[in-house]
Structure 1
Amino acid sequence: MSSTPPAAASLEQAQQNLQHIQTALNAHIVGQQTLISQLLVALVSGGHVLLEGLPGLGKTRLTQVLAAAIGLDMKRIQCTPDLIPADITGSETLIGGELQQLGFRQGPVFANLVLVDEINRATPRTQSALLEAMQEGQVTHLGQTYPLPQPFRVLATQNPIELEGTFPLPEAQLDRFLFKLSVTMPDSAALMELLELSLQPNPDQLPEPVVNPQQLQELTEAAQQVLVAKSVREAAVALIQLTQPAADNRHRIRHGVSPRGLQALVKSAQAQALLSGRSHVALEDLAAVSLPALRHRLLLSHEAELEGLTSDQVLEDIVAVWQGTQTPR
């Protein structure tokens, strides 16, 4: 953790760039302001995002607009049960002109922003092909390592209601996603605005870049410089401890949040503080990122599942106890 906050000038510039991206996204994505803010926090934190929502809510469109606004090279992987790892990472193939020889042809994972559509339709073997790329920023093929372009982010989508022909992500891979975000149905006013936009002559027009990939890297570096005081670090640890079965949640939680979850919580809180224009992390930043950073890292007990509880409900109770606004139950 950095002990030196970013300079005022760099902080102001970073906040301006974030506002430019947010404005561009809000102009093309209607009724999803909270989702956009959370996606920006994850993006600036350097993490990958799992988007969960019903079909037709604009998850693919959001990714396309995001890539256009930052000038990122984007590629899409449509997952199906017959997809194999080489379809993602690349494979040996004949390359060259007259004197053809075997060489490595890069797969679609070699891009700044990779949209993995319906990731839970791919088999576990294929899902695992993303693990090295997401964790190490590289692909290994026949003993040779190929670095991925930087910045590198994965946005994966999944449908929460379709179970037939799907393969739920294992906890080990879920943990590689910094955020799990829920894409919800817009309200009536947003639906009306969305309809009006779709009736315009060029409804699918993408925004011009408002920043470039290098500036995104600089935003990530600026977020890493946001000050995290000792009291805030202690508060983050206390929050993670409350998610453990050894606390008062034994009847609701089977496995609590791991140390990687603690790191994700604090790292994303730094980006949240930067988005809010602060050079230090506040407790409200930890609270703001607690659900997207922890919801997929919490395993509920069978008793809680039978009661119909969700990870969000349990986490909201835990955060309320952590903030002192609710007593344990």
Structure 2
Amino acid sequence: MIIKNVQTYCSPSEDIQKETVLSFNDKAIITRDESFLKILDIAGTIATTCATVLIQGESGTGKELLATYIHRKSIREGLYIAVNCASLPDNLVESELFGYEKGAFTGAVKRKYGKFELANSGTIVLDEISELSLNVQAKLLRTLQEKTIDRIGGYDAIPVDFRLIAISNIDLKLAVKENKFRKDLFYRLNVIPLEIPPLRNRKYDIDLLLDYFLIKFSKIYHLEYKTLDVRARRSLNNNTWEGNVRELENVIERAVLLSGKNKTITEEYVFIESVENQPKEDNFDYGFDSLKTMEKEMIFRTLNEVNENRTVAAKRLGISIRTLRNKLNEYRENQNQINQVSSL
């Protein structure tokens, strides 16, 4: 992990002159926002303790990155185990978290250690913890209180030494009021509450992130470093960023690829699709047709490079597999319409 202070992108009229960069592997937390810096300061202070942490914030704000930062600054020698609770099938949640004994049920041919045991002497991160059923929440509460786990089919409570970091992209207080989350578990988790502000409330961070991702993706794709022209940068600064940093990262990766050999990325390469209040096709500004053509060419070129592997192509393009599938269906339908007209 690298922690450093460097000069920031800012105009002479701005008071803030430095940014904080926390980088690990190919990811980084970059900010000069006062509220976020306070959160990082608290996180650094409590990292060496065993206190339970609850990180909340909108999707794409960097909650798991913050959890990683806390673990790496801690003195815990065990593993960092991250679990996405939303991805666990209901019938497998308990066995995944707490493990099971041989013969506990049909198919249990040998003992399985759960995530809590694997995180012994380390950190376990439960992402999207609100997705756990009330029954599993009750068992989790007991595990937190007793620092023991019970494997399915087992007879003895097994002591475990773990540090829990819970992550949620919904307001757990509201979930408690709606009887979707246990009140006693919420208070057990809410020892060190950290809430990451959305990117739209961190206006000074947008330029920093833009420049960081421009450098990152220029290097990844072996391209000469690209810059944004004034209009493109202004457009990106004025966006509300519903998907937060994750959305901004995807937009810049796409712009770097679509702009090809151009050193300067202009506004035509920077397009943002909102999932809410999306305008009808008729309402798009002039230039949309050419942009759609570039998008289509980029999609087919990427598919060709990855031997038609849609999963890999979607990841490279910064879109979901579902979006890629819809785009391909759209192109196919348009081609069929053209063929029908040609045959008349």
Larger radius of gyration: 2
TM-score normalized by the length of structure 1 = 0.46
TM-score, with length taken from structure 2: 0.44
